[in-house]
Amino acid sequence: MVAKQKILIVDDDNNIAELISLYLAKECFDTKIVNDGEEALLAYQTYNPNLILLDLMLPGIDGYQVCREIRAKDNIPIIMLSAKGEVFDKVLGLELGADDYIMKPFDSKEMVARVKAVLRRYQTAKPQTPATASIKMVTYADLEVNLSNYSVVYMGENIDMPPKELELLYFLAASPNQVFTREQLLDNIWGYEYIGDTRTVDVHVKRLREKIKDHAGWGITTVWGIGYKFEVKD
């Protein structure tokens, strides 16, 4: 019997949390509800969830801080929930490492679809058996991006990054010197019916540049008015 995937629901409104739990249970997920940030950090360690649905406005430790603390030590998928719809809130959430951002009120089918989509992307990080493994990896001087086991080695050190950051880096690096529009990158990396804007791409590129500094032989280059490319210099 296949074990159910576990979703940690963090929301101070227990009615909303119970509703989310009901929708996810119908899709055969196991769920656990907590109502504040301190409980969330504890449940993250004891419940060992596959994904966290995290409300921003929590008593005590808010969702931003919970995300920051978890992301500092784990790449577990995190979807932020909020009644706030301002671009600043979305960008801040994504910059802290959230994998997606859902505004309340939300459609139950869309919420479930987003959970499944984020889990699908994350599950590809698990190594295949040696017999079936088809290693997807690009290498440059001082850089190795392995999509098969979701690892990045830069200047001899392993670099931790959330799945979408790594996928974006791999996608660009696998097509050196090819220019991609922000819309193309959204479509290829976020794939499903992502309801967002192209600033999502800019946020992730910014985070990549903070972790992977431009090298003498290569770098992520902004093509003004169009998008980005992984430039390999002669």
Compute the mean pLDDT over every residue in the chain, rounded to the nearest whole number: 84
- Whether residues 117 and 152 share a domain: the answer is no
Position 131 in a domain:
no
Strands (E), 19-104: 30-34, 51-55, 78-82, 100-103
128: pLDDT strictly greater than 60: no
Rounded to whole angstroms, the Cα distance separating 163 from 76 reads 9
Which residue, 175, 171, 174, is CA-closest to 201? 171
- Whether residues 94 and 26 share a domain: the answer is yes
Question: Tokens at residue 25, please?
Answer: 């249970």
- Whether residues 111 and 151 share a domain: the answer is no
- Whether residues 57 and 149 share a domain: the answer is no
Rounded to whole angstroms, the Cα distance separating 201 from 194 reads 12
Rounded to whole angstroms, the Cα distance separating 32 from 6 reads 8
Cα dihedral 160→164→166→170 (10° resolution): 180
Cα dihedral 120→117→209→184 (10° resolution): 110
3-class DSSP assignment, residue 87: helix
Number of domains in the chain: 2
Domain extent at residue 211: 137-232
Position 164 in a domain:
yes
Position 183 in a domain:
yes
Position 129 in a domain:
no
Position 130 in a domain:
no
- Whether residues 153 and 104 share a domain: the answer is no
- Listed residues 67, 101, 123: the one ending a domain: 123
Residue showing tokens 């296949």: 2
Rounded to whole angstroms, the Cα distance separating 110 from 106 reads 7
Residue pair 119/30 in contact by the 8 Å Cβ criterion: no
- Lowest-pLDDT choice from 8-12, 53-57, 76-80, 116-120: 116-120
- The CATH number given to whatever domain includes residue 211 is 1.10.10.10
Question: Tokens at residue 27, please?
Answer: 């899709």
Which residue, 219, 195, 187, is CA-closest to 205? 219
Q: Which residues pair with 78 in a beta bridge?
A: 52
Q: Which residue has the higher pLDDT, 196 or 96?
A: 96
Which residue, 234, 120, 141, 229, is CA-closest to 185? 229
- Whether residues 70 and 165 share a domain: the answer is no
Question: Cα dist. 199→59, 98, 117, 179 in Å?
Answer: 29, 14, 20, 17
- Whether residues 81 and 142 share a domain: the answer is no
Rounded average pLDDT over 146-163: 88
- Whether residues 118 and 144 share a domain: the answer is no
- Lowest-pLDDT choice from 22-31, 35-44, 65-74: 65-74
- Whether residues 86 and 159 share a domain: the answer is no
Position 128 in a domain:
no
- Whether residues 95 and 173 share a domain: the answer is no
- Listed residues 123, 156, 187: the one ending a domain: 123
Rounded to whole angstroms, the Cα distance separating 61 from 115 reads 24
pLDDT for 55-102, tens place per residue? 988 888 998 899 988 988 888 899 988 876 665 566 777 777 788 888
pLDDT of residue 16: 92
Q: Tell me the whole-structure pTM to 2 decimals.
A: 0.59
CA triplet 143, 149, 153: central angle to 5 degrees?
20
- Listed residues 70, 91, 123: the one ending a domain: 123
Residue pair 35/53 in contact by the 8 Å Cβ criterion: no
129: pLDDT strictly greater than 90: no
130: pLDDT strictly greater than 90: no
